[in-house]
Structure 1
Amino acid sequence: MLEQLTGHEDPHPIYERLRAQGPLTHDGGTWLTTSHPLANRILRDRRFGVRLSDGSYPSNGSLLPESFLEQDPPDHTRLRRIAMPAFSPKKIDEYRTRVEKVAESLLDKDEFDLIADFAAPLPISVISDLLGIPDADTAEFADYGALVAASFDSGVTQEMANANDKVLALFDRLITQRRRTPGDDVISSLVAAEAEQKLTAQEMLGTLVLLLVAGFETTVNLIGNGTRALLDHPAQWKLFKARPELASAVVEETLRWAPPVQMTSRIAHEQVDEIGKDEWVTLLIGAANRDPEVYPEAHKFDVMRVHKPEHLAFSSGIHYCLGATLARMEGEVAFRALARRMPELRQTGPVTFRESVVIRGMRSFPVSRS
């Protein structure tokens, strides 16, 4: 049934048909769950991992170097710990002023594409700054992020391979420069960790690519999905414009109602109830975030909603998104800027959706300030 989801404006009717089959069902060779409590429990259960029980990683044909996202403990723990300081709340707070300035500078048009002209350039600017990427090299990153997301579903294309080669070459060049002249950026901190033999050169490259893609992809779709939700719900948009302090609530409800990442998978390392050793479980985050047993009026977009328990848009357990604080801050800044600068914002044409099952977002979203 999952193959029916590609490019869907609204995947929830399919999710609801799966939900009707129970909290755990078998479909197309994998277990599926739409249940928030069960998905949360599996994400936190150390009997499940992202690798097979023998430690091998089932290849998906990706060109991306492996990162801690594809690792189980202890390697996951070691590599994540090295990257964590760059995403501390204190560090993210230092970026807020820069994000506000970038957001303001992007909102100087009367008619524009919200994705290409605002939602994509904002996080690319921020993650490039955080990683220490020169301004001259940031232009290719938005295309690269989109190509990586497409590869999750359609596999690797020649275009993707070419973009991947360019980005890896760029990181190789920057790593060489930081070895000679360290700076105050993530690449320099990883180079220092490599010198102390805390990670290998390949692990450093994998970490940088992960941070680049994750730091871009989630935020682009958070901003796009949230803006569309607000414009499609005029009462919510009016409420937010009157009370801009609700920006963080808009972020959280968007992440619940239309999470950028719709699903993730885990592999059982031993028999767990019906799930056999080395069997896959696909956790339908988009469905779990609208579990009616957890959220009253689950399909309603409501920025005043109390989020208890927390949604699963950033996963849960040891793989909880490292960049969650950054994405939340960027989303808050973006929504506030739109409400203040463009209170009469409106959609001016049809949106186009990403052809993806894993990622929920738009390719284009034409809007006007009045």
Structure 2
Amino acid sequence: MAADPFTASAPGQRYAVYAELARSGSAHRITLPTGAPAWLITGRDDVRRLLTDRRVVKGPLSAGPMADRMPLDVRAAAASNLVYRNPPDHTRLRGLVSATFTRRRVDQLAPRIREIADQLLDALSEVGEVDLITGYAYPLPVAVVCELLGIPDVDRAAFRRWSSAMMIGNYAGVDTYVAATTEMHAYVRRLIADKRSKPTDDLITALTIARDGGDRLTEDELVGTIVTLVIAGHETTANLIGNGVHALLTHPHQLALLRAEPHRLSGALEELLRFAPPLQLSPPYLTAEPVRVGAVTIPAGEVVVLGLLAANRAPGWIADPARLDITRDEVHHIAFGHGIHHCPGAPLARLEGKIALGALLARFPRLRLAVPAGELTWPPQMLAHGLASLPVLLR
């Protein structure tokens, strides 16, 4: 078994590491991939409680070789997004972002998301075997978020490359991470300048107007917010789709039930989010005061990360949590966080996931793995939880 969950890459291994940790308590002293000491919280109730505990706050951008190597303007913008802010700044920034992801506005995107899904599936139908991650799970949310923000089609591949390195973090290597972060922030600054001179009907233009029209956004907040929206807007959804398809293909009875009863799709999506979430950890927090977790008192000034994957499968919250069951009457999970740090883009991610899964299963009724399930891997990551690839046979 791997010494930590971040490098656990074999099927089921990451879940097993978290389960073993959870059996010894809820609070665990660990070393993050950044080299920083931290407390990992795995208990369901403790994770939910700390996500709303005012003594657990967002801290500044972590120091370390990657942060130290960033240009000052990049570091300033990277530290100016929702991930590193507390109320009242967090409230202000979240309000601007949440206005984009209202249920009404998200529902209006449904026809376009279906169109994108159908176009991708049309292209896949030309081949018999495909990597579903690169051929479908990533291109769909990348297309949606780029259209929403107003990012030109020709730049999507670059954004995919930059965001992947930024999500992998230390495992990408310092040089690769710093280069990707620097290039993305520089591109976003140029794009903002273009939107100022030639406004269009998109989110970047709207946020730029909000920044220029008053004291609602600083320039660094504007850049940092857009970068965060690009990354969070597709990485999480891509993992949702990839993990969800994998879970169904490796649980054929559940897949057969969903095919026979497609009205279960919404409930199935929630169960897939619980069973195979797109994130394994929350971003790091800091204890502003001592906080007691189980038998442990975490001192003030300590880094805390909350185990979303562990909490989703914690015993006591739901019957037989290690079992995939799309017929559950009520599914409890925190795949998108909780409280004021609940992901504002969750409605869009759910809609994309539902459309993507529904369209895929309807188009290819003989969909199945192209390799033995034991050969699949989840690459080392600190925050995300997603497959390296998912080779499938379509017919």
The TM tier, using the shorter chain, reads over 0.9
Q: Distance in 2 between matches of 1:307 and 1:36?
A: 16
| 1:102 lines up with 2:120 in the alignment | no
Across the two proteins, how many residue pairs are aligned to each other? 364
Between 21-30 and 345-354, the greater mean CA deviation after superposition: 21-30
Q: Report the Cα offset of residue 155 of structure 1.
A: 6.0
Partner of 1:281: 304
Q: Secondary structure at the match of 1:281?
A: strand
Partner of 1:272: 291
Q: Which residue in 2 is equivalent to 1:206?
A: 224
Alignment deviations for residues 327-368 of structure 1 (CA, whole Å, 9 cap, x no partner): 100000011011100111011124342222422111211111
Alignment correspondent of 1:334:
356
Which residue in the other structure is 2:4 paired with? Answer: 3
Q: Quick check: 1:260 aligned with 2:278? A: yes
CA contact (8 A) 1:7 1:357 kept: no
Aligned to 2:238, the other structure's residue is in SS state helix
Partner SS for 2:130: strand
Letter in 2 for 1:338: L
Contact 1:226/1:250 (<8 A) preserved: no
In the alignment, the residues of structure 1 paired with residue 7 and residue 382 of structure 2 have an alpha-carbon distance, to the nearest angstrom, of 5
State whether structure 2 residue 50 is matched by structure 1 residue 47.
no
Q: Say whether residues 1:77 and 2:85 are aligned partners.
A: no
Partner of 2:369: 347
1:18-57 pair list within 5 angstroms? 18-28=21-31, 29-51=37-59, 56-57=60-61
Structure 1 ranges of 4+ moved more than 6 A: none
2:261 is matched by which residue type in structure 1?
Answer: R
Which segments of 5 or more consecutive residues in structure 1 lack a partner in the other structure?
none
Specify the code of the residue in structure 1 equivalent to 2:133: I
| 48 and 2 in structure 1: CA distance in 2 versus 1, 3 angstrom threshold | farther
CA offset at residue 87 of structure 1? 1.3
- Code of the aligned partner of 1:240: L
> 3-state SS of the aligned residue for 2:40?
strand
Query: Per-residue displacement from partner, 1:46-100 (whole Å, max 9, x unpaired)?
Result: 111111xxxx443353456221111111111111112221111111111111110
Taking the aligned partners of 2:183 and 2:300, their CA distance within structure 1 comes to 39
Q: Give the distance between the partners of 2:179 and 2:299, measured in 1 at CA.
A: 39
* Farther-moved stretch of structure 1 (206-215 vs 85-94): 85-94
State the TM-score, normalized to the length of structure 2: 0.87
Separation in 1, partners of 2:227, 2:200 = 19
Distance, in Å, in 1 between the alignment partners of 2:41 and 2:191 is: 42
| Equivalent residue runs for 1:1-370 within 5 Å | 3=4, 5-9=6-10, 10=12, 11-28=14-31, 29-51=37-59, 56-59=60-63, 61-62=66-67, 65-66=78-79, 67-108=81-122, 109=124, 110-151=128-169, 153-154=170-171, 156-195=173-212, 196-264=214-282, 265-273=284-292, 274-308=297-331, 310-349=332-371, 350-370=375-395
Q: Give the counterpart letter for 2:203 in structure 1.
A: V
Closer/same/farther in 2, CA of residues 90 and 238 from structure 1, 3 Å limit: same
Q: Counterparts of 1:88 and 1:119 in 2: how far apart (Å)?
A: 23
Going from structure 1 to structure 2, the CA distance change for 1:249 and 1:4 (only over 3 Å counts) comes to closer
Letter in 2 for 1:8: S
Instruction: Say if 1:261 and 1:286, in contact at 8 Å, map to a contact too.
Output: yes
Determine the C-alpha separation between the residues in 2 that align with 1:4 and 1:187.
36
Distance 1:281 1:137 in 2: 36
Deviation, 1:369, is 1.0
Deviation at 1:27, TM superposition (A): 4.1
User: What whole-Å deviation, never above 9, does each CA across 1:215-256 have from its counterpart, x for those lacking one?
Assistant: 111011100000000000011101111122222222211211
AA at the equivalent of 1:104? D
Q: Report the Cα distance in structure 2 between the residues aligned to 1:160 and 1:184, rounded to whole angstroms.
A: 32
SS in 2 for 1:220: helix
The range that moved more, 351-360 or 199-208, is 351-360
Relative to structure 1, the CA distance from residue 282 to residue 113 in structure 2 (aligned partners, 3 Å threshold; closer, same or farther) is same
Do the aligned partners of 2:5 and 2:18 also contact (CA within 8 Å) in 1?
no
For 1:341 and 1:155, locate their aligned partners in 2 and report how far apart those are by CA, in whole Å: 35
SS of match in other structure, 1:367 = strand
Q: CA deviation at 1:8?
A: 2.1
Between 155-164 and 118-127, the greater mean CA deviation after superposition: 155-164
Contact 1:24 1:31 in 2 (8 A): yes
Contact 2:266 2:354 in 1 (8 A): yes
SS at match of 2:236: helix
User: What is the TM-score normalised by the length of structure 1?
Assistant: 0.93
**Counterpart amino acid of 1:24?**
A
Q: What RMSD in Å do the two structures reach over aligned CA positions?
A: 1.9
Note closer, same or farther for the CA distance 1:335–1:142 as it changes in structure 2 (3 Å cut): same
Bigger mean CA offset, 231-240 vs 274-283: 274-283
- Cα distance in 1 between the residues matched to 2:315 and 2:267: 20
Provide the identity percentage: 36
Q: Which residues of structure 2 form unaligned runs of 5+?
A: 32-36
251 and 4 in structure 1: CA distance in 2 versus 1, 3 angstrom threshold = closer
